[in-house]
A = this chain, B = another copy of it.
Amino acid sequence: MAKRSRSRKGAPGIIEVAARAGVSPATVSRFFNTPDVVKSPTRKRIEQAASDLGYIRDRMAGSMHNRFSGTIGLIVPTIDNAIFSELIEAFSSQLLVHDRTMLIAAHGYDLKREVGIVRSLLERRIDGIALVGQDHDTIAMNMLAQRNIPVISIWNYDQDSYLPCIGADNFAAGRTVTKHLLDLGHRNISLVFADTVGNDRARERLRGALSVFEEMQLQPSGQNLHTCPYDVGEAKKLGIDILTSVKPSAIVCGNDIISHGAIYACQALGMRVPEDVSIVGIGDFRGSAHMEPGLTTIRLPAKRIGSLAADKLVAMNESGMPSKVTHQKVEMNFMDRGSTAALQTP
């Protein structure tokens, strides 16, 4: 039985490279970390030797001293959902630009699972971590704090967050789309949002939506507030329910995925969007612009957030942790497309 073959056969180390280049290992190390400090001819010899041998650095060994591993963590509720994949891609490729790599994991909206994931990432010595939202388990936060790891919260902007954050104003987003519907004359409006426990993004959006009703002295009846998971099929099913029972003239969806389901629900029932029902979403995911009708929604710059978060985390590494917790708000754009129209007075 080939017990954990220790082979590591053809892998040359810094020492082999040094020997071949006729320098000391220290110099080879410097060549890779601070090239400007080694003389040009030496540099050339090392470069040659390394390439001859097919040398590949062992960042892990290096990290023993450094205390920097060059990997940064990202924990999202779920990967398998248009909501976050854009973010992930942007975060990852921006890290690559900084010569870092991404360790990613999903907790499936289960904050308890997040704790285990944080631990697992910490065991791998991440240099920093980005978390979605501001709702997290204390245990996880303590582990991070004790180790003094840069943490930032992304996706939701919260002026008073105890963590640095980069995100959008979800409250405002909820307001904007709801107001748009009211401005169009709709009054019988259904609200379909994701479960808000442990999900500050959804919570804020819903708060925003409700605040508009309040301002207008309108009360959405309990009957008009619905909870729905981030799933097109579920949303469609629920949509059909709502459209046949409550018969709203418009639906505010907490998220584009839900909107997609709602639009399909209308189509399945033979109702026209926006003539019979107006629908708005939040997010502006891939595809939302191109479906028929195009979805009226709010563009949440996922790419921008991912990219900024990567930059920020790297910066926190390189310049030591800033004492000040910064909050960065990214802009959102209202995309007025074809899924909403003024209420047809019958």
Q: Are B321 and A5 in contact (CB under 8 A)?
A: yes
Residues of B within 8 A of A320 (CB): 1-5
Q: Are A9 and B148 in contact (CB under 8 A)?
A: yes
Distance between Cα atoms of A2 and B68 in the complex (Å): 15
Give chain B nearest CB distance to A167 CB in angstroms.
Answer: 18
Residues of A whose CB lies within 8 Å of any CB of B are 1-11, 54, 56-61, 63-64, 67-71, 78-82, 85-86, 88-90, 92-93, 96, 99, 101-106, 117, 119-125, 142-143, 146-148, 231-233, 236, 260-261, 264, 267-268, 286-287, 289-292, 318-321
Distance between Cα atoms of A10 and B142 in the complex (Å): 11
Q: Are A290 and B264 in contact (CB under 8 A)?
A: yes
Distance between Cα atoms of A286 and B142 in the complex (Å): 37
Q: Are A89 and B79 in contact (CB under 8 A)?
A: yes
Distance between Cα atoms of A117 and B99 in the complex (Å): 10
Q: Are A85 and B92 in contact (CB under 8 A)?
A: no
A290 in complex: contacting residue of B9, B104, B236, CB < 8 Å: B236
Q: Can you report 30 residue pairs joining A to B where beta carbons are below 8 Å apart? A: A3-B320, A4-B320, A7-B148, A8-B148, A10-B147, A11-B146, A54-B142, A54-B143, A54-B146, A56-B123, A56-B147, A59-B124, A60-B60, A60-B64, A60-B69, A71-B124, A79-B79, A80-B86, A80-B89, A82-B85, A85-B85, A96-B105, A99-B120, A101-B105, A232-B287, A232-B290, A236-B290, A260-B291, A264-B290, A264-B292
Tallying the copies of this chain within the complex gives 2
Q: Are B71 and A125 in contact (CB under 8 A)?
A: no
A82 in complex: contacting residue of B8, B82, B101, B146, CB < 8 Å: B82
**Interface core residue of A2, A6, A292 (most chain B CB under 10 Å):** A292
Distance between Cα atoms of A143 and B10 in the complex (Å): 10
Q: Are B286 and A232 in contact (CB under 8 A)?
A: yes
Distance between Cα atoms of A11 and B149 in the complex (Å): 11
A148 in complex: contacting residue of B10, B64, B96, CB < 8 Å: B10
Q: Are B85 and A79 in contact (CB under 8 A)?
A: yes
Q: Are A289 and B101 in contact (CB under 8 A)?
A: no
Give chain B nearest CB distance to A297 CB in angstroms.
Answer: 15
Q: Are A122 and B56 in contact (CB under 8 A)?
A: yes
User: A117's closest neighbor in chain B, by CB?
Assistant: B96
Task: Please name 19 further chain A to chain B contacts, defined as beta carbons within 8 Å, in addition to the given A54-B146, A232-B286, sorted by A numbering.
Answer: A2-B320, A4-B318, A8-B147, A54-B142, A56-B147, A59-B124, A60-B64, A60-B69, A60-B125, A61-B64, A79-B88, A80-B86, A99-B120, A101-B105, A102-B103, A231-B286, A261-B290, A264-B290, A267-B292
